[in-house]
Chain A
């Protein structure tokens, strides 16, 4: 009994996190009425699932391969400014799929290439998730030990080290990147649907919006969700130690001597990767028609923009304490880290439509009607999908703290609350700002759940953009893409300011 109570108390810090992320789904599972739920048509579902798997695998392998080759070149030659590279990466990471879809439509149109079907969708989806792959692999390079690589260089050649040693040493990160990109690509229908290919997550959306039956939606989602859970579980089995490393300061830099052809190929690939990643910025920001039409865009979409910002404001306020507490909980966890990580990460990969349906089921009742008809619903959707991200970032900041420093904080301060507020919180504040910024940035582009839970009559910039995209790369779409990029810039700027301020405050005392 005592142990049970202790266990529950141990879970307290992470309770808000799970209330916001997994509770709606758990509630849905527990209380849904199966009456009238359509039985799945196994042959058809199986085929669609198979195609989706193929699609996700194609996107994941091309994104990770390109990221690996480009990064290796970027990290190991003297010509690339790594600071600049990192800045680009941070900028491109949260660009929403819908903006990539606009850039893809536009670029394919300019090149006279077809904009329907598997190939264009695959290409654009690869470009949109390339920053994720680059980010995970770059973090991996960050934590690699130098000596084994040097040993390989001395005992063989630099080229042989790249071919035989580095891939093996980076294997966990490569796997993590493959898995993450795969899970993200099969959970999101925005890009495939705009390029007219049918994927499983679109099927879930169609099922819910046509039948409005939660039972049918759950049945329809089950195969994809089970598959995603399985992939996540396998992934954690191989890559869990990645979450334990705090990360070394300073990026790994080796200046290798490589044959000219290899250098040329690497440079080309890095160029290609950067071009793909920066395409949205290039195509949107350099378009004069966009700047000319800006006043009109603002006038037309002012309400959408206000709604988007209102949603993010609400989400941000809640995310700060919840991700701090959750990050602390994960950091101080001694046992059962793998199941904990599984539960923490799972919500991030669930199909957005399922998350949206679960939120509706939980909050569409008389006692919460004030909440249900407000922008709090899409804010809850953003939290349900992206809190895992901010929690992980905060957790990483905790890991980077000195063990002794944390212990000392609790020894010196009589109350735990004081230790947190006066010592730990200021120390992880930059991480908290960054994590929340990530949540807001990804939240700005959230589509799958938001589209279902928006109060009647309102829309967000992303939802509007997605709706217009079906009619092609019009000027309207251009303006909305700009608004999203500008919103990202604003969030990044604010986060930068905040973390700068936090650093200044810390220096002062």
Chain B
């Protein structure tokens, strides 16, 4: 696979304004790091440490105060937000098809269609196709959100606590499928979680957000 889908952070600094005019909160300062193409890295850390902020900067949704990011752009880049971020006026089906654009409907590629079905099945979403997001449980919404991005087959995938709302056996099955999917697509993966076990299972490296930077922990 010959795609320049790695991610490089150059001297990133990021601050957030604080309520009530207090001094700005520094989340990262002088952070440099390279995530090679096809690497699978988990980002861990307590909540509020800056994991989501990091993904937002990689995706180009938040500008850093200093430094810059080199990363693929959409549609090569896929980002599953911490909240499901589904569109309330669209059914699960149209939520999931949105990223495929129009081409699936015109001259439907059978191979693509088969992949779509696979993801649907693996994430156990077949029965939810006609439903609206407001009627889904937290875990269901989260899986739809994951599926919506996976079907576009990004070569660089940012996942923000994708299994947060799942539990037990289902969580294991989804994790297995994700692992299989990443192996097969050779995508670069940034996986945010606060579950170290989960992190070790799917990723080859685990980094922790600490002291306004990233520290290798396993």
Within 8 A of B (CB), among A147-169: 147-148, 150-156, 164-165, 168-169
- Judged by a CB distance under 8 angstroms, whether B68 is at the interface is no
Task: Tally A-B pairs: CB < 8 A.
Answer: 49
A-side interface mostly:
helix
Please name all residues of chain B whose beta carbon is closer than 8 Å to the beta carbon of A164 when the two chains form the complex: 98
In-complex Cβ contact of A152 among B59, B75, B87, B145 (8 A) = B87
- Judged by a CB distance under 8 angstroms, whether A145 is at the interface is yes
Q: Which B residue's beta carbon lies closest to that of A153?
A: B74
Report the minimal beta-carbon distance from B135 to chain A, rounded to whole angstroms.
Answer: 15
- Judged by a CB distance under 8 angstroms, whether A171 is at the interface is yes
Please name all residues of chain A whose beta carbon is closer than 8 Å to the beta carbon of B148 when the two chains form the complex: 151, 155
Tell me whether A165 and B87 are in contact (CB under 8 A): yes
Q: Which A residue's beta carbon lies closest to that of B86?
A: A148
Docked CA distance A441–B145 (Å): 47
In-complex Cβ contact of A154 among B77, B83, B86, B88 (8 A) = B77
In-complex Cβ contact of B98 among A147, A156, A169 (8 A) = A156
Docked CA distance A150–B87 (Å): 11
Please name all residues of chain B whose beta carbon is closer than 8 Å to the beta carbon of A171 when the two chains form the complex: 89
- Chain A: residues with Cβ within 8 Å of the partner, total of 15
Docked CA distance A238–B61 (Å): 32
Please name all residues of chain B whose beta carbon is closer than 8 Å to the beta carbon of A147 when the two chains form the complex: 81, 83, 85
- Judged by a CB distance under 8 angstroms, whether B28 is at the interface is no
Report the minimal beta-carbon distance from A100 to chain B, rounded to whole angstroms.
Answer: 34
Within 8 A of A (CB), among B83-130: 83, 85-90, 98-99, 101
Tell me whether B74 and A154 are in contact (CB under 8 A): yes
Please name all residues of chain B whose beta carbon is closer than 8 Å to the beta carbon of A155 when the two chains form the complex: 74-75, 98-99, 148-149, 152
Interface string of A121-163 (1 = CB under 8 A from B): 0000000000000000000000001011011111110000000
Tell me whether A168 and B98 are in contact (CB under 8 A): no
Please name all residues of chain A whose beta carbon is closer than 8 Å to the beta carbon of B78 when the two chains form the complex: 154
Docked CA distance A165–B95 (Å): 10
Docked CA distance A154–B73 (Å): 8
- Judged by a CB distance under 8 angstroms, whether B79 is at the interface is yes
Tell me whether B88 and A168 are in contact (CB under 8 A): yes
Tell me whether B79 and A154 are in contact (CB under 8 A): yes
Tell me whether A151 and B101 are in contact (CB under 8 A): no
Tell me whether A151 and B81 are in contact (CB under 8 A): yes
- Chain B: residues with Cβ within 8 Å of the partner, total of 22
Report the minimal beta-carbon distance from B49 to chain A, rounded to whole angstroms.
Answer: 19
Tell me whether B149 and A150 are in contact (CB under 8 A): no
Within 8 A of B (CB), among A311-363: none
In-complex Cβ contact of A145 among B59, B79, B85, B152 (8 A) = B85
Please name all residues of chain A whose beta carbon is closer than 8 Å to the beta carbon of B152 when the two chains form the complex: 155
Please name all residues of chain B whose beta carbon is closer than 8 Å to the beta carbon of A145 when the two chains form the complex: 83, 85
Tell me whether B98 and A150 are in contact (CB under 8 A): no
Please name all residues of chain B whose beta carbon is closer than 8 Å to the beta carbon of A169 when the two chains form the complex: 87-89
Docked CA distance A147–B82 (Å): 9
Docked CA distance A400–B87 (Å): 26
Q: Which B residue's beta carbon lies closest to that of A149?
A: B85
Q: Which B residue's beta carbon lies closest to that of A250?
A: B17
Tell me whether A168 and B59 are in contact (CB under 8 A): no
Tell me whether A150 and B88 are in contact (CB under 8 A): no
Q: Which A residue's beta carbon lies closest to that of B73?
A: A154
In-complex Cβ contact of A150 among B75, B85, B90, B101 (8 A) = B85
Report the minimal beta-carbon distance from B90 to chain A, rounded to whole angstroms.
Answer: 7
Please name all residues of chain A whose beta carbon is closer than 8 Å to the beta carbon of B77 when the two chains form the complex: 154
Interface string of B142-178 (1 = CB under 8 A from A): 0001001100100000000000000000000000000
Report the minimal beta-carbon distance from A257 to chain B, rounded to whole angstroms.
Answer: 11
Docked CA distance A168–B98 (Å): 14
Tell me whether A152 and B98 are in contact (CB under 8 A): yes
Q: Which A residue's beta carbon lies closest to that of B133?
A: A148
Docked CA distance A169–B134 (Å): 13
Docked CA distance A457–B100 (Å): 72
Q: Which A residue's beta carbon lies closest to that of B149?
A: A155
Please name all residues of chain A whose beta carbon is closer than 8 Å to the beta carbon of B59 when the two chains form the complex: 150, 154
Report the minimal beta-carbon distance from B151 to chain A, rounded to whole angstroms.
Answer: 10
Docked CA distance A147–B149 (Å): 14
Report the minimal beta-carbon distance from A229 to chain B, rounded to whole angstroms.
Answer: 28
Please name all residues of chain A whose beta carbon is closer than 8 Å to the beta carbon of B88 when the two chains form the complex: 148, 168-169
Docked CA distance A155–B86 (Å): 12
Tell me whether A168 and B83 are in contact (CB under 8 A): no
Tell me whether B87 and A168 are in contact (CB under 8 A): yes
Docked CA distance A487–B99 (Å): 53
Tell me whether A168 and B89 are in contact (CB under 8 A): yes
A selection of 25 A-B contacts at a CB cut-off of 8 Å is A145-B85, A147-B81, A147-B83, A147-B85, A148-B88, A150-B81, A151-B81, A151-B85, A151-B145, A151-B148, A152-B98, A154-B59, A154-B78, A155-B99, A155-B148, A155-B152, A156-B98, A156-B99, A164-B98, A168-B87, A168-B88, A168-B90, A169-B87, A169-B88, A169-B89
The 4 closest A-B pairs by CB, nearest first: A168-B89, A155-B99, A147-B85, A154-B74
| Given A151-B79, A156-B99; 7 other pairs, CB 8 A cutoff | A147-B83, A147-B85, A148-B86, A148-B87, A153-B74, A154-B79, A168-B88
